[in-house]
Amino acid sequence: MRSIWNGAISFGLVSIPIKLVNATENHSISFRQIHLADGGRIRYRKVCELDEEEVSGGEIGKAYEDADGTMIPITDEDLAQLPLPTAKTIEIVAFVPADRIDPLQMDAAYYLSANGVPAAKPYTLLREALKRSNRVAVAKYALRGRERLGMLRVVDDVIAMHGLLWPDEIRAPQDAAPDGDITVRDAELDLADALMDTLGEVDMDSLHDDYREAVEELVAAKAAGETVLPAEPEDTGDGKVIDLIAALENSVRAARKSRNVEGAGDGDGGMADVHPIKKTSSKTSGKTARTTEAEQTTKAEQTTGTAKKTTHRTPTGKTVTRSGSSTAKKSAPKSTGAKKSTSTAKKSAGSAGSRTTTTKTTTKTATKKRTSSSSGGTTAKKTTPSRKRTSA
């Protein structure tokens, strides 16, 4: 980048040679003035009003016009001899928090580049000091014939300088405020907040100049001899707000539609679309209810792993619940049921007298068989013949 000013940063007793380069560039499309009758270009010529002759740039100088119209010539040599320390120096006068600078004072932006190898170390020192302090430097400098105010801050690894307007160059804003005492309702503020939340944030790098692109397309179309159709004007309401609430609601809907989030329930009090519930016939509802009940029953059986249960009455009058094969498999390690059945058989056999010994032997044999065959799920089947022989 071409430098527009060479000088130094005065940081206390430290001097940092720098080059000043523009940090911004103008992309706007410029037009020429032409003569409508024949298309000839209109040019401005610098003519002396005394002799009415055109003069070249080398013959033009500066002058200050006094109150009575007298011209006082001022040369570049006169300006260079002024006792102004900022003529070739950016003099840092203070370090302040960034929020102390009013954005209204912001003017042109520049990059400060280290001028030469010896300037690299002090340049880096100032840059890192600004980073660590989270502050900006306020400085004075002279450029294009006048002393200016500037703000130095760090952008990536470069020190940038923003030209600032002097405080007395900022107008008071009172005259621009609306006249009268205007009250805003809470409902209007809520809708305004909803609109701001819907619009959300934006990637600043994605913003571009739509007007410039449209002008470029217009120029290209006319250069190619194409007919340019006028665009349909958008309905802006002519700036008249009839119903502020309705306008805000429509704005929220339009913003949501443009961001493909219309009707999304954010849970933040935003408006949501309401859809009617579809009606179903009574027959369909009955089938759906029975199907749902059957599905729930099946899921319950699958979750608990319990099969259908059957009951059997023993010779002693007690009722024994028998589980299916899946339950028997899961409860195989537990032999509590088998022990209870054996105890019952022993008690009923005690009243049989001489059959006691036979009953005990039969019960023990049955118990062993049930224990050895419990992993196969046949405990209930082998218990039945043992009880029959006991009752006999």
- pLDDT per residue rounded down to tens, the chain (392 residues): 788 889 999 988 889 999 999 999 988 899 999 999 999 999 999 999 999 999 998 999 999 999 999 999 999 888 778 777 777 889 999 999 999 999 999 989 999 999 999 999 999 999 999 999 999 999 999 887 788 999 999 999 999 999 999 999 998 888 888 888 888 889 889 989 988 888 888 888 888 888 899 899 899 998 998 888 877 766 655 556 567 788 878 888 888 887 764 444 444 444 444 344 444 444 444 444 444 444 544 444 444 444 444 444 444 444 444 444 433 344 344 444 444 444 443 444 344 443 444 444 444 444 444 444 444 443 334 444 444 444 43
d(CA 164, CA 192): 33
d(CA 243, CA 237): 11
**Residue 361 tokens, joined:** 């032997």
d(CA 53, CA 45): 10
d(CA 10, CA 137): 11
**Residue 94 tokens, joined:** 């203070």
pLDDT at 332: 40
How distant, in Å, are the alpha carbons of 204, 313, 369, 378 from that of 342? Answer: 85, 15, 12, 16
d(CA 92, CA 135): 13
d(CA 370, CA 364): 10
pLDDT at 272: 41
- Residues 115, 18 contacting (CB under 8 angstroms): yes
> How, if at all, do strands 89-97 and 135-143 pair?
antiparallel
pLDDT at 68: 92
d(CA 45, CA 56): 9
Complete DSSP assignment for 39-85: -PBP----B-TTT--B--GGG--EEEEPTTS-EEEE-HHHHHTS--T
Burial of 114 (0-12, 13-18, 19+ CB in 10 A): buried
CA-closest candidate to residue 155, choices 98, 212, 87: 98
Q: What are phi and psi of 111, to 5 degrees?
A: -105, 140
**Residue 203 tokens, joined:** 């990637």
What's at 90, amino acid-wise?
A: I
- List b or e across 339-356, with b for residues whose CB sees 16 or more CB atoms inside 10 angstroms: eebbebbeebbeeeeeee
